[in-house]
């Protein structure tokens, strides 16, 4: 028979360590208190706090002991070094992107100039306790706004690093020559395989002209690709005394794109021409003769003269032996004034066979016969040749 288990009530069980009683022996906490470890820790903490407070007070006293003018100079130097370093970094990035080679002497020179400019601006315009008032008599609540306004005006004035030189305006569209007796023949959309023949004819008549070139038009390949004919043709244009202008990289309508795209169209061609010639133009013929007020503002910022024309041969509509007569008649009827009081800027293209085979010879003959001079647009505007281009 199985043994029955005897039930035991909880109250009858004797616990070795009752629940509500404390430990019978000393705990670690008791030992620590007995050894005074807590007192030692508090004393050490107070000592560390005292050292930190003294160091902080000494630092504060040292900072307060600096004369305001010294503190202002040190703050100016700190900000100037930071801004000049940023300027140097951005300059290197831009040169790497758009220049043929990075010119370290030029970058270093520009950084030095920027350091001086930033230092002057920070010292004179940055708010400081030693310089709370920039304009005496102006309420203090307006002093900060005045500083911001001055910074903005300086930035707006210096936003373009390309100086405007000479008397020819930058940005507004120019349609006419300034000097009488000149005919400025211009050729858009090139270079092409037909351009050498144009250059031959111009040499034959001792005439100069202006070529507004594209970087990549009609899928002919990049203008600075050494595997193409274009670099040698561009160099021949320049060596013969002709003027080279920009017609954007890919013949974009500059009135229909935003400022970022305009900037890319212009600077991409600049980089290509720097690769070929070592410099880039300051004259632009906008594709489709289209450059609205926003475009003109961007071109002024980029340092470009915007050239259109007052004689359109419409050779792009008459590229056939029968139709080219229309372009000839348009030119002949337009060149009707006396050289003593008349001058013209003529639009044509060095990418159409009838222009190079027929129209150009007629224009050169008539210019010579009527007593005009075939010149570049820079010459007909009285702009010295050194203003036609910019160095990178």
Catalytic residues: 188, 349
**146 to 52, 126, 142: CA distances (angstroms):** 41, 11, 6
Map residue 389 onto helix, strand or coil: strand
Instruction: Quote the CA–CA distance of 279 and 98 in Å, as a whole number.
Output: 12
Instruction: Quote the CA–CA distance of 392 and 272 in Å, as a whole number.
Output: 12
| DSSP bridge partners of 244 | 211
Torsion over CA: 316, 322, 324, 327 (sign): negative
Map residue 298 onto helix, strand or coil: helix
Given the DSSP bridges, would you call strands 280-281 and 389-390 parallel, antiparallel or unpaired?
Answer: antiparallel
Instruction: Quote the CA–CA distance of 378 and 384 in Å, as a whole number.
Output: 7
Which are the contacts of 291, defined by CB distance < 8 A and separation ≥ 6?
A: 173, 254, 255, 284, 299, 306
SS percent in the chain: helix, strand, coil, step 5: 50, 10, 40
Q: Six-digit token pair at 201?
A: 């004819």
Instruction: Quote the CA–CA distance of 248 and 295 in Å, as a whole number.
Output: 12
Instruction: Quote the CA–CA distance of 135 and 142 in Å, as a whole number.
Output: 10
Q: Six-digit token pair at 92?
A: 């290197």
Instruction: Quote the CA–CA distance of 392 and 95 in Å, as a whole number.
Output: 9
Cβ neighbours of 384 (radius 10 Å): 11
* Burial bucket for residue 24 (CB in 10 Å: 0-12, 13-18, 19+): exposed
Q: Six-digit token pair at 22?
A: 């404390």
Q: Six-digit token pair at 319?
A: 């590229």
């Amino acid at each position: 028979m199985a043994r029955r288990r005897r039930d035991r009530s909880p109250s009858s069980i004797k616990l070795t360590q009752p629940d509500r009683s404390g430990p019978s022996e000393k705990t670690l906490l008791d030992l620590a208190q007995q050894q005074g470890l807590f007192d030692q820790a508090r004393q050490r903490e107070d000592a560390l706090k005292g050292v930190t407070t003294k160091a902080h007070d000494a630092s504060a006293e040292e900072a307060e002991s600096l004369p305001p003018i010294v503190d202002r100079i040190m703050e100016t130097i700190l900000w100037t070094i930071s801004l000049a370093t940023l300027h140097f970094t951005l300059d290197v990035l831009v040169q790497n992107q758009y220049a043929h080679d990075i010119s370290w002497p030029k970058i270093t020179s520009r950084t030095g100039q920027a350091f001086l400019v930033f230092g002057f601006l920070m010292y004179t315009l940055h708010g400081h306790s030693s310089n709370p008032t920039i304009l005496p008599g102006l309420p203090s609540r307006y002093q900060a706004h005045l500083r911001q306004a001055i910074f903005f005006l300086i930035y707006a004035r210096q936003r373009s690093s390309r100086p405007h030189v000479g008397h020819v305006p930058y940005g507004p569209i120019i349609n006419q020559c300034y000097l009488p007796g000149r005919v400025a023949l211009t050729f858009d959309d090139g270079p092409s395989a037909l351009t050498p023949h144009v250059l031959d004819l111009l040499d034959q008549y001792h005439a100069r002209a202006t070529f507004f070139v594209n970087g990549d038009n009609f899928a002919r390949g990049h203008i600075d690709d050494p595997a193409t004919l274009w670099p040698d043709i561009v160099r021949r244009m320049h060596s013969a005394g002709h003027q080279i202008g920009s017609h954007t990289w890919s013949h974009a309508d500059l009135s229909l794109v935003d400022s970022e795209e305009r900037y890319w169209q212009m600077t991409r061609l600049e980089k290509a021409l720097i690769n070929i010639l070592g410099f880039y133009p300051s004259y632009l013929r906008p594709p489709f003769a289209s450059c609205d007020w926003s475009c003109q503002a961007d071109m002024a910022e980029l340092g470009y003269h915007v050239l259109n024309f007052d004689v359109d041969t419409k050779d792009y509509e008459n590229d056939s032996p029968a139709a080219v007569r229309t372009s000839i008649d348009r030119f002949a009827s337009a060149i009707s004034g006396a050289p003593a009081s008349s001058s013209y800027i003529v639009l044509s293209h060095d990418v159409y066979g009838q222009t190079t085979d027929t129209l150009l010879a007629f224009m050169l003959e008539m210019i010579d016969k009527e007593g005009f001079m075939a010149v570049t647009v820079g010459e007909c505007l009285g702009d010295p040749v050194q203003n036609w281009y910019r160095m990178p």
